[in-house]
Amino acid sequence: MQQLNVGLIGGGFMGKAHSLAYAAMPMFFWPAPALPIRHTIAEATDELAAEAARRFGFERSTSDWRSVVDDPDIHVVDIATPNHLHAEIAIAAAQAGKHIISEKPLARTSGEAKAMYDAVTAAGVVNMVAFNYRRTPAIALARKFIEEGAIGRILSFRGTYLQDWSADPDSPLSWRFQKSIAGSGALGDIATHVIDIARYLVGEFGSVSAMMETWIPERPLQTGGADSLGTSRGGAGPRGAVDVDDQVMTMIRFQNGAIGSIEATRNGYGRNNYITFEIHGTEGSIVFNYERRDELQVCFASDGGDRRGFRTIYTGPAHPNGEALWPIPALGIGYGETKIIEAHDFFTAIATGTAVSPNFADGYTTALIDDAIVQSAETGLWVEVPGIG
C-alpha cells in the first residue's frame, strides 16, 4: 500500500479534525487507497508545534511552514490555517509539486483564489478545498435522488447556515471578525458551505441579489492566539472594530432556471450548526437538517394522495459510503466522519491520478459568487456571477 507523508500546517480546531481523519480513514475504508503518514505539523511557535505533534500523532514539528513545503519527503500539504495564509502556502506547495488540501474558504478574495487555482493547474497536482459537509451521507443521497430524476426538474432551493457562537457582544474579537485575516465574516466562514451544497445539488449560479449586515460593530480584544469560537468572554478591557459581516441573505437565479435563497448568520441564538436545505422539484421535494444529519426527508409526487407527505430515510449501509461507516442505519455519524470520507476521496484521487471535487476550481468559483454577493449588497442590484474562464 502506498504511503503518503502529510505535512499539516495549523494545529487548531481544523488541525484536530484533519488529524483524526488521517488516523481513522484506513480503519473505515480498508484497504485504504493510500496510507496517510502524519509526518510533520507546523504551528506558530516551536512550543505550540511540539504540543500539537504530541496531541495529533505527528512524527515531527516545526514553527516554519516553509520547511514543510520544501521537505522532499512530504507528499501532501494540508492547509488548516487562518484564511490570510492560504494563498501563499498553497502557491508555494504547488510550485514544490505537493498535492494540496486547503480549508475553506479557499482564499480571502477571488484574486487570491485565482492565483491558487492557476498554481495547481500549472503544477498538475491533486488539489481539494475542504467543503466537507457535502460528504454527509444524507446530502450525497439527496444528490443521488436528484441525478436519478426522482424529484424531476428542480424548481427551487432554500438553504441556511445558522449559528449562535458570536451572538454575545462580549465574545472576543477572533481573527474571524477581521477582514484582513478572514476576508469576510458569515459569508466566507459559513455561507460558503451552503453555496457549495447548492452548486453540488442544483447547479451553477447565474446571478444574486443580497443583503449583508454587521450587528456587533466592536468586540473585546482577544488574548492568546487560539481561535475561541465564542467559548470565552471578554471583560471591561479594550475593544476592537469588527469589519466583516455578521449576517448575509441572498436570492439566487441558477443557470438552469431554478431559483433559490441562502441565509447565514453567526448571531442566531438557539441555533448551533443549523445547516438546512429544502429543494422542490416537479416530481417531489427533499429536506435536510444537519443537526439531524442521519436523516433525509423526501416526498415524491408519485406517492398516493392518501399517503402524501414527507417520510424520513435514516442513512446507513445502503446509502453513500454506508459500507465503510456503521452497520446499522441511524447508529449515528458526526462531523469527524465527514472528514474521514473527505480524506478517503482525496487520497483516492492521489493514488489513482484522478481529479477530486470540490477542488480549487470549485473554491475559485465560490469566491466569485462571494464577490457578486458583496457587490449586490453594496449596490442593491442583481449581480451576474462570472465563470472562471
Q: Render pLDDT for 371-385 as a digit per residue (tens, 0 to 9).
A: 999 999 999 999 999
| pLDDT at residue 205 in the model | 98
Of 81, 86, 83, 99, which is closest to residue 33 (Cα–Cα)?
99
Long-range pairs, 52-55, Cβ under 8 A, ≥24: 52/11, 52/15, 55/11, 55/16
Residue-level pLDDT, tens digit, the chain, 389 residues:
999 999 999 999 999 999 999 999 999 999 999 999 999 999 999 999 999 999 999 999 999 999 999 999 999 999 999 999 999 999 999 999 999 999 999 999 999 999 999 999 999 999 999 999 999 999 999 999 999 999 999 999 999 999 999 999 999 999 999 999 999 999 999 999 999 999 999 999 999 999 999 999 999 998 765 666 666 666 667 999 999 999 999 999 999 999 999 999 999 999 999 999 999 999 999 999 999 999 999 999 999 889 999 999 999 999 999 999 999 998 999 999 999 999 999 999 999 999 999 999 999 999 999 999 999 999 999 999 999 97
**Predicted pLDDT of residue 66:** 98
Q: At what angle do helices 137-147 and 192-201 cross, to 10 degrees?
A: 30
Burial class, 334, CB count within 10 angstroms (exposed 0-12 / middle 13-18 / buried 19+): exposed
Q: What pLDDT digit, counting tens, does each position of 224-239 carry?
A: 656 666 666 666 679 9
Cβ contacts of residue 211 below 8 Å, gap of 6+?
248, 249, 250, 377
Cell numbers for 80, please give them. 488548516
* Cα angle, residue 321 at apex, residues 3 and 262 outer, rounded to 5°: 110
Distance CA 283, CA 31 (A): 39
Write down the pTM of the prediction.
Answer: 0.96
Q: Which residues contact 168 (CB under 8 A, 6 or more apart)?
A: 230, 233
